[in-house]
Structure 1
Amino acid sequence: MARIFITGISGGLGLPTARALLAQGHTVAGSARSPDGRNAATIAALQEAGARIVTMDVTDTASTEAGMADAIAALDGLDVLFNNAGIGAYGIQELMTPEDMTRVFDVNVMGVQRVMRAALPHFRAQGRGTVLYTSSLIGRIATPFYGTYSASKWALEAIVECYRTELSDFGIESCLIEPGAMPTAFFDAMVTPTDTQREAAYGDFAAIPALSAQGLAQMLDALPDQRPERIAEAVVALLALPFGQKPFRTVVDHSGIGPEIERYNAALHDVTRTVLTRFGNADMLRLNA
């Protein structure tokens, strides 16, 4: 059984994953920005189930480093990091101010980097570790009104591509999980544009994002398999695979988009291997199937 740390444990994807891993017998710790806040009841239930909870704000370096140290101490070590904490964004791209975009990137990109910098000294010292990351299908393609969110996940994908290669000699394997849209509280806390003055210039088009979001909600209601529990199942399945034989990318989607993303991923995999082979670096891909 593994010692696993999940960032954003009380959120939409972290919560069912934590429950599934605890049920499997793993030792689980997780982070929450405010354990006594609005998710206090959820946190208490996780603790009752055996999870260790640490306070961590991934937008603050000192908080992240202290939270990681607390998690490693609570788990008496660390085998698996699930870099899962994230925030959404939705709205007409021009109306997103630089400050709006910074809020998203500070969690989804810099937050991931803070967590990695806090965890990697431990993994490198022990010569082994597994890191999972929550990306998105729209970290592979861009769709209207999700430009800022997609950009943050595209950036995450690039960062993880580099971590995959740069950490391979240290025995640290990397896995990206790419979910489709899921009906979670994620949609209730999304960053939306604050430039209301420019919104008027869009006229009737300004109403389209709300209509599109309503259509997505209706679609998700009609897809009972498109649920956060599918992510938990994917994580459990990945961790059951032998070290070094896990796929680099795992698509989790039941809306019909997944196969197209998998086709794109397969093509990129071939391109990546060809480029690294020409530079003599293909061995840096060895820790993934």
Structure 2
Amino acid sequence: MTDTKTILITGASRGIGLLAAHALAAKGHRVFAGMRDIAGRNADAAKAMRLSALENGYDLTPIALDVTDDAACQAAVDAVEATGALDVLVNNAGVMPVGLTEGFSMEQTEAVFDVNVYGLMRMTRAALPAMRRRASGLVIHLSSSAGRFGMPFFGIYCASKWAVEAYSEALHNELETFGVDNVLIEPSGHGTDLVVTAPAPADQVRMAEYGDLAHGRDRLLGMFGQMFETDTTGTDANNVATVIVDLVEMTDPRPIRVQVGHDMGVSAVNNAVAPIQANLIDMLKPVYTGVASDA
């Protein structure tokens, strides 16, 4: 590694965020690992991370961060910037509700979007001004293969990840002239506790009206659990952490999207849509930049 980066990761108390924090620190980067309630329910996770950093000589620091809180997002970015320029933001925090789409209350849906979409936007808005001023920076959004199609019983989750895809793609083009890169990672199913902690629909009246179909959630979660137990290579969450490291250290132009894990047809969708989207941008760019095309 030739260039040490200062990196802030959201949702780093467990899962992909935790793995990525350690993988990046092991490569010599300065990593700030964002966690909610760092003095409470995540106190043990923070303590374990500090001990690991000490034992391994990592520059790895737990930092208080709740992506649903505007002030907390800005405070975390400011705290990192106070130690040096923030080079990379990894928007990893997320929740994955599973169940009949109609069964999720509006309150539940708003809570999902508050983390998966608005939390990501809060963090990005907090980080971008300094990155733009320095004409340097990278924002990595953890989307999902579910951000490229709609899947039964994952409707709310898919909707939130579709929103992330659109938001990130717009930023990717808007930030191009500022030297700030904005990219997406699209993991398929991986063995993290997202499955174990997946929120279930709260509207039992609506659920009852679907009859046996309402139990589809349990059957799907069981299928994924079995897949994680039997396919420990293709569903290893370390695969995603490795891609995060690769994107951080990449010197060639970064792709706007990287799919990780079982393809599920996502690469075919990406490949088919890419030239259509590129043609649209080529058509619009002279308008929104005010610079005439060379063509």
Residue 210 (1) aligns with residue 218 (2): yes
Q: Contact between 1:97 and 1:195, CA under 8 Å: does it hold in 2?
A: yes
- Note the 1:192-207 alignment, pairs <5 A: 192-207=200-215
- State the SS of the aligned residue for 1:276: helix
Letter in 2 for 1:23: A
Hey, which bits of structure 1, 4+ residues long, moved more than 3 A? 280-284
CA distance 1:177–1:196, change in 2 (3 Å): same
Q: Contact between 2:169 and 2:256, CA under 8 Å: does it hold in 1?
A: no
Q: How far did residue 256 of structure 1 move?
A: 4.8
- Per-residue CA deviations over 1:108-143 (Å, capped at 9, x if unaligned) read 111111101111111011111011110000111111
CA distance 1:273–1:151, change in 2 (3 Å): same
Q: How far did residue 282 of structure 1 move?
A: 11
Using the alignment, how far apart are the partners of 1:139 and 1:211 within structure 2?
22
Residue 268 (1) aligns with residue 277 (2): no
Letter in 2 for 1:273: A
- Within the candidate set 10, 26, 29, 1:26 is matched to 29
Q: How far did residue 183 of structure 1 move?
A: 1.5
Give RMSD over aligned pairs.
1.7
- State the SS of the aligned residue for 2:97: coil
CA distance 1:146–1:223, change in 2 (3 Å): same
TM-score where L is the length of structure 2: 0.90
Using the alignment, how far apart are the partners of 2:20 and 2:28 within structure 1?
13
Aligned residues: percent identity? 35
Aligned residues: 279
Letter in 2 for 1:59: T
Q: How far did residue 281 of structure 1 move?
A: 4.8
The residue that corresponds to 1:172 in the other structure is 180
Letter in 1 for 2:19: P
- Note the 1:128-143 alignment, pairs <5 A: 128-143=136-151
The residue that corresponds to 1:287 in the other structure is none
CA distance 1:256–1:113, change in 2 (3 Å): closer
The residue that corresponds to 2:46 in the other structure is 43
Structure 2 gaps of 5+ residues are 54-58, 290-295
Using the alignment, how far apart are the partners of 1:274 and 1:79 within structure 2?
31
The residue that corresponds to 1:17 in the other structure is 20
- Within the candidate set 84, 89, 102, 1:94 is matched to 102
Using the alignment, how far apart are the partners of 1:70 and 1:187 within structure 2?
32
- Within the candidate set 221, 224, 246, 2:229 is matched to 221
- Within the candidate set 166, 186, 191, 2:194 is matched to 186
Residue 114 (1) aligns with residue 122 (2): yes
Q: Contact between 1:273 and 1:282, CA under 8 Å: does it hold in 2?
A: no
Residue 8 (1) aligns with residue 11 (2): yes
Using the alignment, how far apart are the partners of 1:183 and 1:147 within structure 2?
20
